[in-house]
């Protein structure tokens, strides 16, 4: 399986047979090199990719364990969403235009598939910091080594992760980056992004500045190398800087326009030494930081326990601040986590097969649960669905059979596209009959079994909590098992909605409430059942409690032409199909004379 592709003519891959035998009749391959000693001896050390390959086979492990660096603290930063920016603007009475960030360009949703890699060595026009050939090669070696480790871990789960490299570039800048604050930086005082020397990367490729440039370059890399995703790695020389840190004590980090899986940026920034990590540990720093691009969270002290920036919206369960027994992981620290990974981080990368255990990871499993409910629509409407790049992904002609919802004006789109693939989680543009577009969110069902919970009966009311958007079948059976009522039958119900059904008009007796949810792509809920008697024996006034007020209510009904009980069976304590003095006597004995428990005509 290919792990690294260096266009136009070199591939590093893993095989289970000797390459000279496999390719002996392949005329398009000019030379192969294996990890065996005889293969390594053939390498051309003047070739940068050959040197990368040799470093993968014989890494500088002794140097990596020489000293112990501190954790990569605070290496994930987010900007502020436009609404929040406007709120701050109003709060501070600012009159200047606000430069909002791009929030809907998805260039690295999960770490599965192929990833284009752009490596940019920042070369200042000054003389304080300059690159030299050996440092450039070391940087290339270590970045590839870090990404190779991620591919190796993916392969252990039968996941394909292939890195495709653009030629390493030196980017000229008038800044001396290491002498300044780290960028990109969101300035809370001006409410503007500061990119400074980072913009030089984008302008060198013909793009505008700031986030438009970052995403523009990432998408150019994807298109050029035909990959699923892209990541940009900017490396700053810091050899002559005393602490190898930017002026605000940062060294390696990832910055995103805003919180959330729809807002992650494609840019990683590192320095040559990364504080006290030193160049030969850049592989660890690379794996750590690039993983942030694909949704992982920091797990060392001061981490965010509840953050859900990943595609699968998983929480940061290995955060040291909320997990008393965190496990070793490369998102924690160097000492315990170097070349260790845990399921918490794997799930954040999208490496989880929770849907049907078929070996295909949830984000790319065509059987997994993607859904968007589109409304209002009617039979005969033609819907055109476009992705955020404005490419048409599907046309849907609405038929009567598709319609659902309480008003029968909703259809469920399962994310299916023209090429029989499933669309990624995110925002899609929908137009109806050639009209104006509106946005719909294609959601991800994160668990195999959707959930119905909090199913209860209380005082003529059945309630339950629907935890996933799905079609609901709610059926109420009588004591003989016959269907008495169907409050919902295949009605699309939103997530986190409590549904209530009033049973006051039901004949007094025993009932079973059954709630079941389903989706067209195979995810079914648990079957939740609650058996109940739709009255409380002795609760004559239907207040939910048996007390003195019930005796007064019964006396008024029997002797003073008072109102009849809501549930007549609640007063038929002797269960002789009538309310008379015997029922009143039984209630008094129960309440005041330590008489026997009352059950009326029904018991569970």
Beta strands in 494-590 (DSSP E): 497-502, 510-518, 528-533
Whole-angstrom Cα distance, residue 350 to residue 345? 9
> Mean pLDDT over residues 556-561, rounded?
91
Give the residue with greater pLDDT, 14 vs 92. Answer: 14
Give the residue with greater pLDDT, 85 vs 326. Answer: 326
CA angle in degrees (0–180, nearest 5) for 178-181-183: 95
CA angle in degrees (0–180, nearest 5) for 262-265-268: 150
Give yes or no for a contact between 226 and 113, defined as CB atoms under 8 angstroms apart.
no
pLDDT score, position 338: 67
Main-chain dihedrals φ then ψ at residue 44, nearest 5 degrees: -95, 105
pTM attached to this predicted model: 0.64
> Mean pLDDT over residues 81-99, rounded?
33
Give yes or no for a contact between 487 and 501, defined as CB atoms under 8 angstroms apart.
yes
Please compute Rg for the chain using Cα positions.
32
Percentage above 70 pLDDT, the chain: 80
For residue range 197-247, list pLDDT tens digits in order. Answer: 999 999 999 998 889 899 999 989 998 998 889 999 999 999 999 999 999
DSSP 87-152: HHHHHHT--SPP-PPP----S-SSS-EEEEEEEEEEEESSSSS---HHHHHHHHHHHHHHHHHHHH
pLDDT exceeds 70 at position 91: no
> Mean pLDDT over residues 81-85, rounded?
39
> What 3-state class would DSSP assign to 220?
helix
CA 556 to chain CA centroid, nearest Å: 61
Cis peptide before 376 (omega within 30 of 0): yes
pLDDT score, position 205: 96
Q: Is 3.40.50.850 the CATH classification of the domain at 536-604?
A: no
pLDDT score, position 498: 81
**Average pLDDT of every residue of the chain:** 81
CA neighbor of 139 nearest in space, from 2, 5, 273:
273
| Number of CB atoms found within 10 A of residue 162's CB | 20
Q: Do domains 452-533 and 536-604 have the same CATH topology?
A: no
Return the minimum-mean-pLDDT range out of 83-87, 152-156, 245-249, 536-540.
Answer: 83-87
In the 3-class helix/strand/coil scheme, how is 437-465 assigned residue by residue? EEEEEEEEECCCCECEEEEEECCCEEEEE
pLDDT score, position 235: 97
Rank 169-178, 183-192, 357-366, 520-529 by mean pLDDT and report only the highest. 169-178
pLDDT score, position 300: 81
Distances (CA, A) of 595 to 134, 558, 603: 95, 22, 18
pLDDT exceeds 90 at position 109: no
CA angle in degrees (0–180, nearest 5) for 163-169-172: 145
Whole-angstrom Cα distance, residue 420 to residue 416? 6
pLDDT exceeds 80 at position 40: no
Return the minimum-mean-pLDDT range out of 158-172, 253-267, 474-488, 571-585.
Answer: 253-267
Residues 6+ positions from 47 with CB-CB distance below 8 Å: none
What token pair was written down for 128?
């304080």
Percentage above 90 pLDDT, the chain: 35
Categorize the per-residue pLDDT at 431 as very low, low, confident or very high, splitting at 50, 70 and 90.
very high
Categorize the per-residue pLDDT at 190 as very low, low, confident or very high, splitting at 50, 70 and 90.
confident
DSSP 135-166: HHHHHHHHHHHHHHHHHHHHHTTT--EEEEEP
Whole-angstrom Cα distance, residue 239 to residue 334? 22
pLDDT score, position 512: 94
Whole-angstrom Cα distance, residue 422 to residue 60? 42
pLDDT exceeds 70 at position 324: yes
Give the residue with greater pLDDT, 244 vs 50. Answer: 244
Whole-angstrom Cα distance, residue 210 to residue 203? 10
Residues 6+ positions from 73 with CB-CB distance below 8 Å: 300, 302
pLDDT exceeds 90 at position 383: yes
Q: Report the CATH number of the 368-441 domain.
A: 2.60.40
For residue range 281-314, list pLDDT tens digits in order. Answer: 899 999 999 999 999 988 887 787 776 678 877 8
pLDDT score, position 13: 75
pLDDT exceeds 50 at position 107: yes
Whole-angstrom Cα distance, residue 222 to residue 495? 35
For residue range 259-276, list pLDDT tens digits in order. Answer: 666 678 899 999 999 888
Give the residue with greater pLDDT, 449 vs 181. Answer: 181
Give yes or no for a contact between 463 and 498, defined as CB atoms under 8 angstroms apart.
yes
pLDDT score, position 491: 80
pLDDT score, position 42: 62
Give the residue with greater pLDDT, 121 vs 576. Answer: 121
Residues 6+ positions from 57 with CB-CB distance below 8 Å: 35, 40
Give burial (CB, 10 Å; 0-12/13-18/19+) of 482.
exposed
Return the minimum-mean-pLDDT range out of 83-97, 232-246, 334-348, 359-373.
Answer: 83-97
User: Do β-strands 113-124 and 161-165 pair in parallel, antiparallel, or remain unpaired?
Assistant: parallel
- Start-to-end CA distance of the chain, whole Å, equals 62
Q: Is 2.60.40.2550 the CATH classification of the domain at 452-533?
A: yes
Helix, strand and coil content of the chain, in percent to the nearest 5, comes to: 25, 25, 50
DSSP 404-421: BTTTT-BEEE--B-TTS-
Categorize the per-residue pLDDT at 16 as very low, low, confident or very high, splitting at 50, 70 and 90.
low
For residue range 163-172, list pLDDT tens digits in order. Answer: 999 999 999 9
Main-chain dihedrals φ then ψ at residue 284, nearest 5 degrees: -65, -45
DSSP 60-79: -HHHHTSS-PPP-TT-EEE-
pLDDT exceeds 50 at position 84: no
pLDDT score, position 343: 87
DSSP state of 216: H
Domain ranges of the chain: 1-58, 65-348, 368-441, 452-533, 536-604
Give yes or no for a contact between 305 and 318, defined as CB atoms under 8 angstroms apart.
no
Give yes or no for a contact between 363 and 295, defined as CB atoms under 8 angstroms apart.
no
Residues 6+ positions from 37 with CB-CB distance below 8 Å: none
User: Do β-strands 382-386 and 497-502 pair in parallel, antiparallel, or remain unpaired?
Assistant: unpaired
For residue range 400-427, list pLDDT tens digits in order. Answer: 878 876 678 888 887 888 777 777 777 7
Give the residue with greater pLDDT, 517 vs 75. Answer: 517
pLDDT exceeds 70 at position 20: no
Give yes or no for a contact between 289 and 150, defined as CB atoms under 8 angstroms apart.
no
Whole-angstrom Cα distance, residue 572 to residue 567? 10
For residue range 502-552, list pLDDT tens digits in order. Answer: 888 899 999 999 998 876 555 677 889 999 999 999 999 988 889 999 999
Whole-angstrom Cα distance, residue 230 to residue 193? 22
């Amino acid at each position: 399986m290919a792990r690294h592709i260096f266009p136009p003519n070199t591939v590093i891959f893993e095989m289970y047979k000797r390459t000279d035998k496999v390719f002996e009749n392949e005329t398009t391959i000019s030379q192969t090199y294996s990890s065996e000693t005889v293969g390594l001896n053939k390498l051309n050390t003047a070739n940068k990719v050959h040197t990368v390959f040799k470093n993968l086979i014989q890494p500088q492990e002794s140097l990596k364990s020489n000293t112990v660096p501190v954790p990569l603290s605070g290496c994930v930063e987010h900007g502020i969403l436009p609404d929040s920016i406007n709120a701050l603007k109003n709060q501070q009475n600012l009159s200047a235009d606000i430069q909002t960030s791009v929030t809907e360009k998805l260039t690295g949703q999960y770490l599965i598939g192929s990833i284009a890699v752009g490596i940019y060595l920042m070369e200042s026009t000054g003389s304080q910091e300059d690159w030299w050939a050996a440092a450039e090669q070391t940087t290339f070696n270590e970045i590839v080594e870090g990404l190779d480790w991620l591919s190796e871990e993916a392969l252990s789960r039968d996941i394909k992760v292939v890195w495709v490299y653009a030629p390493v570039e030196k980017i000229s800048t008038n800044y001396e980056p290491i002498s300044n604050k780290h960028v990109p930086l969101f300035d809370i005082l001006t409410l503007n992004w500061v990119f400074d020397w980072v913009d030089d990367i984008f302008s060198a490729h013909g793009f505008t500045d700031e986030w438009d440039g970052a995403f523009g370059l990432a998408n150019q890399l994807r298109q050029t190398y035909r990959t699923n995703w892209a990541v940009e790695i900017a490396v700053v020389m810091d050899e002559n800087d005393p602490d190898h840190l930017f002026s605000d004590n940062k060294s390696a980090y990832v910055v995103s326009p805003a919180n959330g899986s729809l807002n992650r940026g494609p840019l990683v920034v590192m320095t040559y030494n990364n504080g006290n990590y030193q160049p030969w540990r850049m592989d660890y720093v690379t794996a750590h930081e690039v993983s942030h691009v694909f949704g992982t969270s920091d797990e060392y002290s001061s981490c965010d326990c509840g953050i859900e920036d990943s595609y699968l919206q998983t929480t940061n369960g290995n955060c040291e601040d909320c997990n008393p027994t965190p496990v070793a992981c490369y998102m924690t620290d160097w000492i315990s986590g170097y070349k260790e990974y845990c399921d918490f981080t794997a799930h954040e990368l999208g490496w989880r097969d929770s849907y049907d255990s078929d070996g295909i990871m949830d984000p790319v499993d065509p059987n997994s649960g993607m859904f968007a409910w589109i409304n209002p629509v009617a039979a005969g409407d033609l819907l055109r669905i476009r992705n955020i790049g404005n490419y048409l992904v599907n046309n849907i002609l609405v038929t009567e059979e598709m319609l659902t919802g309480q008003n029968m004006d909703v259809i469920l789109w399962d994310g299916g596209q023209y090429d029989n693939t499933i669309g990624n989680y995110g925002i899609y543009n929908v137009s109806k009959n050639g009209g104006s577009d509106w946005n719909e969110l294609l959601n991800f069902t994160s668990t195999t079994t959707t959930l119905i919970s909090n199913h209860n009966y209380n005082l003529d009311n059945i309630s339950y909590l629907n935890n996933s958007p799905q079609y609901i079948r709610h059926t109420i059976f009588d004591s003989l098992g016959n269907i008495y009522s169907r409050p919902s039958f295949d009605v699309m119900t939103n997530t986190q909605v409590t549904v209530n059904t009033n049973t006051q008009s039901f004949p007094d007796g025993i009932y079973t409430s059954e709630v079941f949810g389903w989706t067209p792509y195979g995810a079914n809920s648990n079957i939740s059942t609650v058996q109940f008697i739709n009255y409380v024996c002795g609760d004559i006034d239907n207040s939910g409690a048996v007390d003195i007020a019930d005796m007064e209510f019964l006396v008024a009904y029997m002797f003073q032409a008072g109102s009849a009980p809501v549930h007549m069976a609640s007063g038929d304590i002797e269960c002789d199909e009538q309310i008379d003095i015997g029922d009143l006597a039984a209630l008094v004995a129960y309440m005041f004379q330590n008489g026997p428990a009352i059950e009326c005509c029904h018991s569970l």
